Structure 1
Amino acid sequence: MTVVDAAVPVAQVFASALRGDPCLLLDADGPRGLLPTAAWLCDADPVDEALLGLCHGPTVDIGCGPGRMAQALARRGRPVLGIDIVPEAVRLSIDRGVAALLRDVFDPVPGEGRWETALLADGNIGIGGDPVALLSRVRDLIATTGRVVVEVAPPGTGVRTRHVRLETEVGRSDPFPWTLVGADAIAAVAGAAQLRLASQHRYDERFCAVLEVV
């Protein structure tokens, strides 16, 4: 009889990565490389800071991870709240002095309808595998004069949804859906969520878009 190791909850594997364990990203075709968790655990770099310059006023950082972006906003004197579904990420954010909650973006979020900016950095447009549903929810979080700052994939990516797994020394996670949205596709995705593309920006090899309420 072949014994198959049980999958480990995604949050447990990601917590292991946030403790410094190398974390492999896999999809149906096999390994896709390591997550850049070491960079996420550092302070914001100059490219991060340039992207954060697009954030206006009170900001909710969705999928804040260990809090480097939220911390950089707080250092600018901006009110900021980080939310994440991984307890270890929330703990690390709080350890940085950042206000953070263990919260799914689709659950009630403090300040709904009043945030000036919602931030989706580090590819977090992929959360849930349905970027239109995610942006529709995020639209409800921001004020009518607010904006969504979204980090996107390079032009030519289009919209690609796949099921991925994370693997560290604690084990391999269950598969979960994740979507890449390219700079070439963000306008159409935003439009389907009743948002409009206000501007696009490139900082070194990273791309982002600013979306506003229609």
Structure 2
Amino acid sequence: MSTVLPPAGPGAAASWAADPYGRALSRGRGPLFLRGMDGWLLPLDVERWCAAADAADLSALRRCEGPVIDIGCGPGRLVAALAARGHRALGIDVSEAAVGRTRRTGGAALRRSVFEPLPGEGRWGTALLVDGNIGIGGDPRVLLRRIATVLAPGGLLITEAAPHDVDERVRVRLDDGREQAGTAPHFPWARVGVSALLLHARSQSWKPVGQWEADGRPFLALRRARTVRTTSQDADTANSAAVMSSQLPRNLSGDIPLAGS
């Protein structure tokens, strides 16, 4: 029986597409925070996101295999770095500002939630979840289950964990300190450290194949189980990929995984 996955929700998409995030990306700097309902603040490192890929990023990119999908690509530094190194790569993000900036830096990107149909489902070699994006949707197990359907059997997930031993679910909104930011909708988010992420990954049949730290940022490499896909699942994947490939940016030649890397 196939599992029906929940959408990211209108709150999440609306928040990341809202003015605080777009303004921060247009400036290339913060301040920008995730603010919890109890006032808790998580600073977002907009300056690093808008810069070129750094040494910690490259430690992850060197491990990429085959065509790469960057989930929650933001302003696109990883997609651009992969493209510059000859990788076939696609970024997805719910923010129009993020997708636009990714394309301007030379990367390919689509405005899409990971919980929506994606091009090449079931055939990507590597998925990236960095900069805290394991928190997307507020439930790491659901997100890991979804990414298993995006990757090819035996595909690789490279994800960044929180730098602390934490495993929490919160409702947050984007906040840049402006008065009107208080009206932004809340959406679910999660923060997980290495121990919790390993626990969640194993519960979803992911095999840990690498663990390292670079510049204080902890990373994990997880291998997707080589499960047998059913005929109906293959047909659904092919149909969704065919529909979505017509919406790819012009600098992509159809469905990236079919082209190889």
Letter aligned with residue 188 of structure 1:
L
* Among candidates 189, 203, 209, match of residue 214 of structure 2: 203
Identity in percent: 41
Specify the alignment match of 1:83 in structure 2: 92
In structure 2, C-alpha distance between the alignment counterparts of 1:153 and 1:34, rounded to whole Å? 13
- State which drifts further: 22-31 or 135-144: 22-31
TM-score by length of 2: 0.75
Letter aligned with residue 14 of structure 1:
Y
- State which drifts further: 133-142 or 194-203: 194-203
Post-superposition Cα deviations, 1:15-70, rounded to whole Å, max 9, x if no partner, equal 12212252133113325253211111111111111121121121000000000011
Specify the alignment match of 2:185 in structure 1: 174
Q: Looking at secondary structure, tell me which structure has more helix per residue.
A: 2
Alignment of 1:140-155 (within 5 A): 140-155=149-164
SS class of match (2:160) = strand
SS class of match (1:171) = helix
Specify the alignment match of 2:25 in structure 1: 18
In structure 2, C-alpha distance between the alignment counterparts of 1:110 and 1:25, rounded to whole Å? 30
Q: Gapped runs of 5+ residues in structure 1?
A: 1-8
In structure 1, C-alpha distance between the alignment counterparts of 2:154 and 2:204, rounded to whole Å? 16
In structure 2, C-alpha distance between the alignment counterparts of 1:171 and 1:191, rounded to whole Å? 38
Contact persistence 2:165–2:192 (CA under 8 A): no
Specify the alignment match of 2:70 in structure 1: 61
Alignment of 1:31-110 (within 5 A): 31-110=40-119
TM-score by length of 1: 0.90
SS class of match (1:185) = helix
Q: Gapped runs of 5+ residues in structure 2?
A: 1-13, 226-261
**Over aligned residues, Cα RMSD in angstroms?**
1.5
In structure 2, C-alpha distance between the alignment counterparts of 1:35 and 1:143, rounded to whole Å? 31
SS class of match (2:87) = coil
Contact persistence 1:186–1:197 (CA under 8 A): no
Specify the alignment match of 1:124 in structure 2: 133
SS class of match (2:194) = coil
In structure 1, C-alpha distance between the alignment counterparts of 2:125 and 2:210, rounded to whole Å? 16
Q: Looking at secondary structure, tell me which structure has more strand per residue.
A: 1
Post-superposition Cα deviations, 1:171-198, rounded to whole Å, max 9, x if no partner, equal 2321111101111112211122221222
- State which drifts further: 181-190 or 84-93: 181-190
Specify the alignment match of 1:213 in structure 2: 224
Letter aligned with residue 114 of structure 1:
R
After TM superposition, give the deviation of residue 80 of structure 1 in Å.
0.1
- State which drifts further: 166-175 or 196-205: 166-175
Specify the alignment match of 2:196 in structure 1: 185
Letter aligned with residue 67 of structure 2:
P
Q: Confirm or deny that 1:160 pairs with 2:168.
A: yes
In structure 1, C-alpha distance between the alignment counterparts of 2:47 and 2:190, rounded to whole Å? 22
In structure 2, C-alpha distance between the alignment counterparts of 1:188 and 1:161, rounded to whole Å? 15
The total of aligned residue pairs comes to: 205
Letter aligned with residue 203 of structure 2:
A
In structure 1, C-alpha distance between the alignment counterparts of 2:88 and 2:67, rounded to whole Å? 5
